[in-house]
Structure 1
């Protein structure tokens, strides 16, 4: 829930506005701006699952949630779904990832194909220096006064020495019976022509059958429960 609802970011804003909102009316306004827990798109929960996996199993760090760049709730921004780093601060490299959430009962799902499919997106991240440059600059603007500036400097040194020194990954979130054909062909083809220094990995995460349609609702229910427990604990 922390990733889905960007609790860290909202806490920072609340702290910033604590000296501005003095009256009860103003405090209610801050609460309105930050928003009560709301239902989120199923694909957004899928991205959070993928992010949690890469953080836990690949040493990922994704310090700037793309939801902070939205000017309207629910919009999907261009560029990679997950932009951050892999590795400790002194040895970090940039990590660029794409995530597709699909319950389509075919292998591979349609989300793998087409101009906006996982196949093309990963090939673009692997081969297109202009796209990667844009993502490096995107993080750079946000790194200037950040606590993760060390990661950014380390990854940039590596990138300037060789723009192919990046970690590219794709994640399929599925709620069908696991099948090797979801990734088998793509793994082979992505390795062909892989630039020296580029590390590429593909993952498929399988959820209980038919569960994707309820991801957003379940996230909201869990968040509401947590908020209720926090409020109850704070009042005791």
Structure 2
């Protein structure tokens, strides 16, 4: 999966907190949506694994159609969910992160909201592995910063909680651990866990804003300064504003659905 690096619009901050603004062209966005973003949104890898598991019980074309119906939801994803997938792809391509267990697999009801960080995974630096937790907000608001930054479920509060509350980090470490027991990425989890028990602040936190307005550093300026206060240098916090072409967020869902329909032909 690939995503262009985009155009650097601004950089601010100092260790351990940095803020970045990156913009994307219409072409760059469309290429991402037509391939890797759609793969994340529809969990193509997970669906393929389930298909392989159940293929042996399929006897008729009717059974095969039923298998496809159960495993491949036709529900149109929310635009914010596509924005979250775009943010995940950005971290995977450009920040050496991986998120091996999509949170959609934990939904007992399609479209339900799950507690905890939006993105839970790992970041590798040389031979070291660290737990990585990310929060994503997708906003079409014109103000800088958008309202999604504030409130009890805003990006500000979520990042402060991840920074300050070891209990929240512990919960996420356990959550990922239960899924690592028989996974191919078990060794990566063990390496990150060794780092974590030696220092529970030794994690990487990411806050991402997905926007469709003109880039402006006021989206991140105050948060970068405030998150840096009393933050341990053992912890790394990065805020990224991903600027899409204007008025494009409202079209994200339909574009990935078009990709899915094209792939089904």
TM-score (norm 1): 0.94
> Which protein, 1 or 2, shows the higher relative CO under an 8 Å CA cutoff with sep ≥ 6?
2
Which residue number in structure 2 is paired with residue 86 of structure 1? 123
Which residue number in structure 2 is paired with residue 233 of structure 1? none
Residues in 1 aligned to 2:126 and 2:50: alpha-carbon distance in whole angstroms: 26
Q: Tell me, yes or no, if the aligned pair for 1:38 and 1:220 is still in contact at 8 Å.
A: no
Structure 1 runs of 4+ aligned residues shifted over 6 Å read: none
Which residue number in structure 2 is paired with residue 129 of structure 1? 166
Which residue number in structure 2 is paired with residue 175 of structure 1? 212
Which residue number in structure 2 is paired with residue 165 of structure 1? 202
Which residue number in structure 1 is paired with residue 179 of structure 2? 142
Please list every run of 5 or more consecutive structure 1 residues that lacks an aligned counterpart in the other structure.
229-236
Instruction: Give deviations 1:60-91, integer Å, cap 9, x for gaps.
Output: 00000000000111112110000000016941
Which residue number in structure 2 is paired with residue 21 of structure 1? 58
Which residue number in structure 2 is paired with residue 60 of structure 1? 97
Instruction: Give deviations 1:7-64, integer Å, cap 9, x for gaps.
Output: 0000000000001122222222211111255421000000010000001110000000
1:218 aligned onto 2:231: no
Residues in 1 aligned to 2:175 and 2:105: alpha-carbon distance in whole angstroms: 13
1:159 partner SS: helix
2:40 partner SS: coil
Q: Tell me, yes or no, if the aligned pair for 2:205 and 2:238 is still in contact at 8 Å.
A: yes
Residues in 2 aligned to 1:3 and 1:88: alpha-carbon distance in whole angstroms: 24
Task: Choose the corresponding residue for 1:191, options 228, 249, 257.
Answer: 228
User: What is the number of equivalent residue pairs in this alignment?
Assistant: 228
Please list every run of 5 or more consecutive structure 2 residues that lacks an aligned counterpart in the other structure.
1-37
Residues in 2 aligned to 1:193 and 1:3: alpha-carbon distance in whole angstroms: 36
Residues in 2 aligned to 1:88 and 1:44: alpha-carbon distance in whole angstroms: 28
Alignment RMSD, CA only? 1.2
1:101 aligned onto 2:130: no
Structure number having the greater strand percentage:
2
Question: How has the CA–CA distance of structure 1 residues 89 and 140 changed in structure 2, closer, same or farther, with 3 Å as cutoff?
Answer: farther
Question: How has the CA–CA distance of structure 1 residues 167 and 18 changed in structure 2, closer, same or farther, with 3 Å as cutoff?
Answer: same
